[in-house]
Amino acid sequence: MPTMNMLQAINNALDIAMAEDEKVICFGEDVGVFGGVFRATSHLQEKYGKARCFNTPLVEQGIIGFANGLAAQGSVPVAEIQFADYIFPAFDQIVNETAKFRYRSGDLFNVGGLTIRTPYGGGIAGGLYHSQSPEAYFTHTPGLKVVVPRNPYQAKGLLLASIRDPDPVLFLEPKRLYRASVGDVPQEDYQLPIGEAEVIKEGTDITLVGWGAQMEVIGKAVELAEEQGIACEVIDLRSLLPWDADTVVESVLKTGRLIVSHEAPLTGGFAGEIAATVQERCFLYLESPIARVTGLDTPFPLVLEKEYMPDHLKIFEAIRESVNF
C-alpha cells in the first residue's frame, strides 16, 4: 500500500473523482497551473484540462456563488477557498444559498454536488488570519454537512464520500498536518461514511472526543494518561454536521466521563453542542462534569500561540481532574 501525506491523499482523491466523472470540476485561487498554494490540486489541470481545473479571480463570494450555480446545473464542483480564514466573503452564499437551495425550492433545485475544500487551524505561526477554525459558524447551518479528516487515509475516503454525497459538504482540511501527517493510503477508490464517528481507541475510564488535527493532540494526552493507568476511549467525530451523537453517548454511558477538545474559542464552540447533548442523554451516568479543552475566547494569537493552544498537557490535566473529581 502506498504511503502518502495528507496533501497527496487529497490530490489522489480529486484525481480519482475527476477521472471517474467528467462532471467533477475543481477551481479556486491559484488552483490551476500552480496546483494551489498548498499543491492539493497539482497536475489536475495538466491531466483534465483548463475547463475542468482552473484559477478563478480572487473573489471568494464569487467562487462559491459560481459553484452554487454550477452545482444547480448538475455539475459536481469542488471549490477551494485558499484559507478558511478567507471564507467569510462567501458566508452569504454558503449560509443563505448553498444550505437552503433544496429546502426553499421544495427540492426542485439543489446544490448537492458541491464540495467546498478549505484548510483550517493553527500551529503554523499563522496568526489571526491563517489559523482560525471556523467550523462552529457552519455547524449552526442546517442544510450543510461539515466534515474534517484527521489523517491521509481519512482525508481520501472522506473527500471522495463528500464529492459523491447528495448534499453540499464543507470539507475542512487540517493544514498543520498537510505534510506532517503521513500514512498508508490505498491507491484504489474507497469511501468513508459521512455522519459516523470512529472509535479509534477503546477504554473504560474516560471518553475523549475531537476531530481533525486535534486528534493527534488528544493522542499525546492519552499516552500520558495511560502511563498513569487511566484507560481512555478516543472518538474522532469526523463529521460535525450531522454528528454521530449515538457513538459518543454510548461511550459516555460506559465511561461516565467526557472531554471534548477543539482549537476554536470556547464560547459558542462545537464542544458546547456535544456537552449539551451528552448531559441530556447521559445525565445519571456522569461521574464528573463534561470538560471542554479549547482555544481562548480571543482572536488567534501569534507570539503567544503556544500558550493559546489546547495542547496535550492541557488535555492531560483535564483528564486528571475529571478522573479525580
Partner 1 sequence: MTTYAHQPLFMTGDEFSMATFSLLDPEGELYEGAKEPDLPRDHARRLYQAMLATRILDERMMAAQRQGRLSFYMQSTGEEAAVVGATAALDDTDMIMAQYREQGALMYRGFSIDEFMNQLFGNELDYGKGRQMPIHYGSRKLHYMTISSPLATQIPQATGYAYGQKLAGHGHCTLTFFGEGAASEGDFHAALNMASVHQVPVIFFCRNNGYAISTPSSEQFAADGIAPRAFGYHMHVIRVDGNDALAVYEATRQARQIAVEHNKPVLIEAMSYRLAAHSSSDDPSGYRAKSEEEAWRLKDPILRMQKWLLKKGWWSEEEETSQQETLRREVLDTMKRAEKRSPPPFDSLITDVYADITPELQRQFDQLKRHIRRYPEAYPRGARSLDLEVNTTTDSEGDA
Q: Which residues are catalytic?
A: 60, 130
Q: Starting from the edge strand earliest in sequence, which strands make up the sheet with 115-120, in order?
A: 53-55, 24-28, 76-80, 115-120, 169-174, 145-147, 239-241
- Cβ within 8 Å of residue 208, ≥6 positions away: 218, 221, 222, 232, 233, 234, 235, 258, 259, 260, 261, 315, 319
Q: What is the phi-psi region of residue 314: left when phi exceeds 0, alpha when psi lies from -120 to 50, beta otherwise?
A: alpha
166 counts as binding partner 1 under rule CB under 8 A = no
Only one residue has cell 474516560, namely: 206
Cell of 191: 469511501
The residue assigned the cell 453540499 is 168
Piece in contact with partner 1 (CB under 8 A), picked from 69-77, 126-134, 165-173, 220-228 = 126-134
The answer to whether 131 and 84 have CB atoms below 8 angstroms apart is no
Helix (H) / strand (E) containing 18: helix 6-20
Report if residue 59 touches partner 1, rule: CB under 8 A. Answer: yes
313 near partner 1 (CB under 8 A): yes
Using rule CB under 8 A, residue 129 touches partner 1: yes
88 binds partner 1 (CB under 8 A): yes
Count residues binding partner 1 (CB under 8 A): 45
Decide: is 124 part of the binding site for partner 1 (CB under 8 A).
Answer: yes
Residue choice 66, 75, 89, 190 for contact with partner 1 (CB under 8 A): 89
**Nearest distance in Å: CB 23, partner 1:** 23
Judge whether 120 and 172 are in contact, CB under 8 Å: yes
Least separation in angstroms between CB 278 and partner 1: 22
The set of cell numbers assigned to 61 is: 463570494
Could you give the CA distance from residue 211 to residue 217 in angstroms, rounded to a whole number? 10
Q: What is the DSSP string of 233-250?
A: EEEE--EEES--HHHHHH
- Looking at the Cβ atoms of 246 and 297, the one nearer to partner 1 is 297
**Binding flag, residue 128, partner 1 (CB under 8 A):** yes
Annotate each residue in 255-284 with x if it binds partner 1 (CB under 8 A) or - if it does not, as one string: -----------xx-----------------
Out of 86, 91, 109, 285, the residue judged to bind partner 1 by CB under 8 A:
86
Q: Considering the complex, what minimum distance in angstroms separates the CB of residue 190 from partner 1?
A: 31
Q: Which of 15, 21, 23, 33 binds partner 1 (CB under 8 A)?
A: 33
**Which lies closer to partner 1 via its Cβ, residue 33 or residue 286?**
33
CA 95 to CA 138: how far, in whole Å? Answer: 8
> Side chain identity at 232, as an amino acid letter?
C
- Closer Cβ to partner 1, 286 or 296, answer by number: 296
Cβ 68 vs Cβ 40: under 8 Å: no
Is 189 among the residues that bind partner 1 (CB under 8 A)? Answer: no
By CB under 8 A, residue 308 contacts partner 1: yes
Residue 306 in contact with partner 1, rule: CB under 8 A = yes
Provide the minimum distance between the beta carbon of 288 and partner 1 in the complex, in angstroms, as a whole number: 17
Residue 301, preceding peptide bond in cis (omega within 30° of 0): no
DSSP 208-236: EEE-TTHHHHHHHHHHHHHHTT--EEEEE
Residue number with CB closer to partner 1 (183 or 299): 299
**Residue span binding partner 1 (CB under 8 A) among the ranges 194-202, 205-213, 279-287, 308-316:** 308-316
Q: What minimum distance in Å lies between the beta carbon of 267 and partner 1?
A: 7
- C-alpha 83 chain-centroid distance: 13
Chain residues that interact with partner 1, rule: CB under 8 A:
29-30, 32-35, 37, 54-55, 57-62, 85-86, 88-89, 123-130, 266-267, 296-299, 301-308, 311, 313-314, 317
